[in-house]
Amino acid sequence: MAESVSQALLVVDMQNDFLLPSSPVCVAGGMDAVPAVMQAVQFARENGVPVIWVLRAHHHLGVDVEISRKGHFSDGAGVCVYGTPGASLVAGLQADPQEIVIHKQRFSGFMCTELDLVLRWAWARAAWSDTCHHLRGANPQLHQGHRL
């Protein structure tokens, strides 16, 4: 991703803990989006559009989660804990070793992460976002077609 680009595909929170029905934080209907996300990733790769993965990842003790998710860590299980199957991308999606993966601890991919720097470094002027759940209230900047 050394050359200047005009757009990027952001793939956000497409992880087992958000998509598998057995998860306590499963987003209803999220699995239905997986084929479209797979197509978008393939299209981006084939057309030289950088794919940036924005994923939840938490410490196993839950010391870095927001208050609304603390309860998921009270029994020691947690949600999207680093290195666990729940934090992994859902089957069918895989980050290429050359693609950037951003780990976040909040709803927003921009809060306390390097996402803004990565997009500016890549000279991205338009960020395209695809996520399995709605971020309208949490981060309106991630809506499709937002101009940076």
User: What's the one-letter identity of residue 93?
Assistant: L
Sign of torsion, CA 85 19 63 73?
negative
45 has pLDDT over 70: yes
The residue ranking higher by pLDDT, 52 or 75, is 52
Q: Contact at 8 Å (CB) between 18 and 28? A: no
The helix or strand, by DSSP H or E, that contains position 19, with its residue range, turns out to be helix 16-19
Core vs surface per residue 51-63: b (16+ CB within 10 A) or e: bbbbbbbbeeebe
Sign of torsion, CA 30 32 36 38?
positive
pLDDT score of 123: 58
pLDDT score of 140: 45
Q: Contact at 8 Å (CB) between 52 and 126? A: no
Q: What pLDDT, in 10s, does the model give residues 19-40? A: 999 998 999 999 999 999 999 9
Instruction: Tell me the C-alpha distance between 128 and 54, whole Å.
Output: 12
Question: Edge-to-edge strands of the sheet including 7-12?
Answer: 100-104, 51-56, 7-12, 126-131, 146-147
Instruction: Identify the band that residue 4 occupies on the pLDDT scale cut at 50, 70 and 90.
Output: low
Instruction: Identify the band that residue 3 occupies on the pLDDT scale cut at 50, 70 and 90.
Output: low
Instruction: Identify the band that residue 47 occupies on the pLDDT scale cut at 50, 70 and 90.
Output: very high
pLDDT score of 137: 43
**pTM assigned to the model:** 0.77
Q: What pLDDT, in 10s, does the model give residues 87-136? A: 999 999 999 999 999 999 888 888 888 888 888 876 544 444 444 344 34
Instruction: Identify the band that residue 64 occupies on the pLDDT scale cut at 50, 70 and 90.
Output: confident
